[in-house]
Amino acid sequence: MKTSPPGSLGASLIDVLARTECPALTSRRARRSERSGAPQDPIVWREAVGSNVVDVDGNVYVDLTAGFGVAALGHRPPAVVDAIREQSGRLLHALGDVYPSDVKIELLERLASSSGIEGARVMLGSHGADAIEAALKTAVLHTKKPGVLAFEGGYHGLSHGPLAICGYQPAFRAPFTAQLNPHVCFAPYPEPLESVALAMARVRDTYHHAIEAGLAIGAVVIEPMLGRGGVIEPPSGFLAELADFTREIGALLVVDEIFTGLHRTGPWLLSRELGVEADVLCLGKALGGGMPISACIAREEIMASWGDPAGEAIHTATFFGHPIACAAALATLDELEAQEIEALVPRTGRVLFEALRAMADEQPLVTDVRGRGLAIGVELTTGAHVLRVMRRLLERGYLVVPAAPDASVLQIAPPLTIEEPLVLGFVEVLADVIEAEAIDG
């Protein structure tokens, strides 16, 4: 660290940010600062490579966020950069679904074959919310039922379709309620140690209340482990029971693996590890290796509900299947295999998890350490503690983000390629920071 963040150049750019950015984001930082009693001014990134980020003032940080999970292979992975460079030299943009690029078709084939879904068909998007949007449309076309059962704490993006099923914060939905799908109900996301029978009883109660209210449920949407919602994994066997229930009521099971998929939790898909095949699978974040791309994948008979392919396309966008993003995604998938990430994540995750648990035993502010692979949450007694610890970590050169609606969890989701000395060094600093917070906070 060369200067306390943000430094002079960063501070000047933040002044520009405050004058030009939508005030909603500036106000959010102000609210966090008021709540925590600690400054929440951001740093301004200049470059990043591997597990490190450099700000405009020259400070170097260890990134424990992987850019919200995007940088699974680390920042600026050479193979992905090479693929972007090669693709940009021959085709920047094609004609979408009218005259697609060769690289888009190659990616569609790759995703269909690796999805584990028999006879899979794929719809590409630009970000995770696009994949959820496509899944919701697919479900209503297939089932003819507009209702959705989602879960409290679930975060599926904030564009209009996904926003209706966002259980993370009711406040996100409130200003737009009149524009959103009214046929949505929310079940409690199960706690890790509660019984599957109790968790499913709550789901069934939610469903029956929805039916009594006149909702026709055509989709059940779930994250196999909450990410932003607090890094919470449901009890063993719950997802399989939910899948059976979903088919029992004639709905489609939409599994949001935008955060948990592509080895973030260890396996290629967490739902597959748990013995569940989604009716509709959503991927994003890490898929593009830093480029914006997502995918909605379902069986052929489900996707056939979109109708006669000779007719007009009723779900498309100018940049869906962008050639450069597709090239980056193909390179990312190649590298995930070539670097044996599926074997690497459990090893590194175990080292990090055990070190965090040992640290937690000595820290009364820590109430829980939980997660899978390299998606780990460290829960503190209050969200204010988390926001102050996050700031202290920033000043020591570590980037983390809060999770859970009350911000009571430090979400640790580094690049999957991070080296063990970096994670162990982080745990040492985290212990120091939490001890200081316990004294001063």
Q: Are 259 and 390 members of one domain? A: no
Are the CB atoms for 371 and 197 separated by under 8 Å? no
Is the same domain home to 84 and 228?
Answer: yes
d(CA 325, CA 80): 10
The per-residue pLDDT for 76 is 98
Cβ-proximal residues to 58 (8 Å cutoff; 6+ apart), any chain: 2, 3, 7
Residue 67, pLDDT score? 96
| Residues 94, 69 share a domain | no
* Token pair 């909603």 in the structure block, residue: 24
Q: Once rounded to an integer, what is the mean pLDDT over residues 279-293?
A: 98
Q: What is the pLDDT of residues 396-422, one digit of tens each?
A: 999 999 999 999 999 999 999 999 999
Using an 8 Å Cβ cutoff, are 346 and 266 in contact?
A: yes
Q: Rounded to the nearest 10 degrees, how much is the dihedral formed by the CA atoms of 187, 190, 191, 197?
A: 130
- Verify that 171 and 311 share a domain, yes or no: yes
Look up the CATH number of the domain holding residue 110.
3.40.640.10
Mean pLDDT of 252-272: 97
- pLDDT value at residue 34: 60
Residues 6 or more apart whose CB falls under 8 angstroms from that of 282 comprise 128, 131, 132, 134, 135, 254, 255, 256, 257, 258, 294, 295, 296, 297
Angle of the 323-338 helix axis to the 341-360 helix axis, nearest 10: 80
Residues 285 and 254 in one domain: yes
Mean pLDDT of 259-271: 97
Span 214-237, pLDDT tens digits: 999 999 999 999 999 999 999 999
Residue 324 reports pLDDT greater than 90 = yes
Average pLDDT score over residue span 269-287: 96
Q: What integer pLDDT is reported at residue 27 of this predicted model?
A: 62
Helix (H, G, I), strand (E, B) or coil at 360: helix
pLDDT(340) > 80: yes
**Residue 168 and residue 341: Cα distance in Å, rounded?**
30
**206 and 241 part of one domain:** yes
- What rounded mean pLDDT belongs to the chain? 94
Closest among 337, 313, 225 to 276, alpha carbons compared: 225
Same-domain status, 321 and 352: no
Q: Using pLDDT thresholds of 50, 70 and 90, give the confidence band for residue 24.
A: confident
pLDDT recorded at residue 305: 93
In a domain, 43, yes or no: yes
Q: Which residues pair with 412 in a beta bridge?
A: 376
Give per-residue pLDDT as tens, 3-14: 999 999 999 999
pLDDT given at position 269 = 97
Residue 146 burial class via C-beta count within 10 angstroms: exposed 0-12, middle 13-18, buried 19 and up: middle
Residue 432 has pLDDT above 70, yes or no: yes
pLDDT category of residue 96 using cuts at 50, 70 and 90: confident
pLDDT of residue 367: 97
Please say which residue of 295, 322, 338 terminates a domain: 338
**What is the model's pTM?**
0.94
pLDDT digits (tens, 9 = 90+) for 183-211: 999 999 999 999 999 999 999 999 999 99
For residue 332, give both structure tokens. 């990312």
Contact 345, 263 (CB under 8 A): yes
Distance in Å from the first CA to the final CA of the chain:
24
The mean-pLDDT minimum among 17-31, 225-239, 360-374 falls in 17-31
Q: Provide the 10 A C-beta neighbour count for residue 241.
A: 17
- Segment 377-399, tens digit of pLDDT: 999 999 999 999 999 999 999 99
pLDDT classification of 125: cutoffs 50, 70, 90: very high
Structural domain includes residue 67: yes
pLDDT at 427: 98
> And the tokens for 251?
């709905």
For residues 52 and 83, membership in a common domain is answered with: no
Residue 310: the pLDDT is 59
**pLDDT value at residue 26:** 65
Q: Looking at the structure, tell me whether residues 115 and 16 fall in a common domain.
A: no
* CA separation, residue 368 to residues 121, 183, 341 (Å): 40, 35, 27
Is residue 59 included in any domain, yes or no?
Answer: yes
Q: Which two tokens stand for residue 113?
A: 């074959």
316 three-class SS: coil
Residue 31, pLDDT above cutoff 70: no
Q: Residue 238: which domain range?
A: 78-338
Domain final residue, candidates 294, 320, 338: 338
Instruction: Tell which residue, 151, 146, 175, 178, has the closest CA to residue 165.
Output: 151
Residues 209, 267, single domain; the answer is yes
Per-residue model confidence (pLDDT) at position 33: 62
pLDDT (average), residues 268-273? 96
Which of the listed residues 316, 338, 360 is the one where a domain comes to its end?
A: 338
pLDDT category of residue 308 using cuts at 50, 70 and 90:
low
Query: Confidence class of residue 63 from pLDDT cuts 50, 70 and 90?
Result: very high
Tokens of 192: 């890790």
pLDDT of 355 > 90? The answer is yes
The reported pLDDT for the residue numbered 28 is 61
Q: 270 and 396, same structural domain?
A: no
Let me know if residue 27 belongs to a domain.
yes
The predicted-structure confidence for 151-162, as pLDDT tens digits, reads as follows 999 999 999 999
Phi, psi values for residue 57, rounded to 5°: -95, 5
Q: What is the mean pLDDT of residues 152-179?
A: 94
Total number of domains in the chain: 2
Give the span between the Cα atoms of 287 and 71, in whole angstroms. Answer: 9
Query: Looking at residues 107-121, what average pLDDT do you find?
Result: 94
List the single range of 34-43, 303-312, 403-412 with lowest mean pLDDT: 34-43
Per the domain annotation, does 119 fall within a domain? Answer: yes
Q: What strands, in cross-sheet order, belong to the sheet with 217-222? A: 120-125, 294-299, 280-283, 252-256, 217-222, 147-151, 184-187
pLDDT band at 320 (very low <50, low <70, confident <90, very high): very high
309: pLDDT strictly greater than 60:
no
Give the pLDDT score at 440. 86
151 inside domain: yes
Q: Provide the pLDDT for residue 116.
A: 87
Q: What's the pLDDT score for residue 357?
A: 97
Q: How many CA atoms lie within 13 A of 72 on its CB side?
A: 36
What CATH number did the domain enclosing 12 receive? 3.90.1150.10
Say if 382 falls within a structural domain: yes
Closest by CA position to 204, among listed 219, 218, 193, 188? 188
Nearest partner of 123 among 324, 298, 326, 311, judged by Cα: 298
Is position 1 within any domain?
no
Q: Both 183 and 127 in a single domain?
A: yes
